[in-house]
Amino acid sequence: MAAGFKGLIPFHRSQNQCCDEDGLIVEGCVGCITTYSPSDYEFLIMHCVYAILLISIARKWWCYEGTIRKKLQSSEGFIFGYLSALNAEIEMDV
């Protein structure tokens, strides 16, 4: 940014943030997906971390967007199930 223009345009994050402890718990759950299905892990990282559109992921993998949606849904279900099995309470949920 040029001098004097910093802060002129407000910076808003569209995603929620969590503390370090919550991040480590979720990261452990996401890491367990690699043993379950490495492609699901890759889809999850591409979409949630790098914000790549589902249609772009589908084109890269030569499949339908609906297939990617189902894979992401199963990955999210795996993470939620893993968190509930750990009985972990995340501050964002409170």
CATH (one of 1.10.10, 3.30.70, 3.90.220, 1.20.58) for 20-86 = 1.10.10
Low-confidence ranges of the chain (pLDDT < 50): 1, 8, 11
Q: What is the pLDDT of residue 13?
A: 52
Domain boundaries, the chain: 20-86
User: CA angle 6-12-16, nearest 5°?
Assistant: 140
The answer to whether 43 and 68 have CB atoms below 8 angstroms apart is: yes
Q: What is the pLDDT of residue 7?
A: 55
pLDDT tens digit sequence for 64-90: 999 999 999 999 999 999 989 988 888
**What is the SS3 assignment for 13?**
coil
- Global pTM exceeds 0.75: no
Q: What is the pLDDT of residue 19?
A: 82
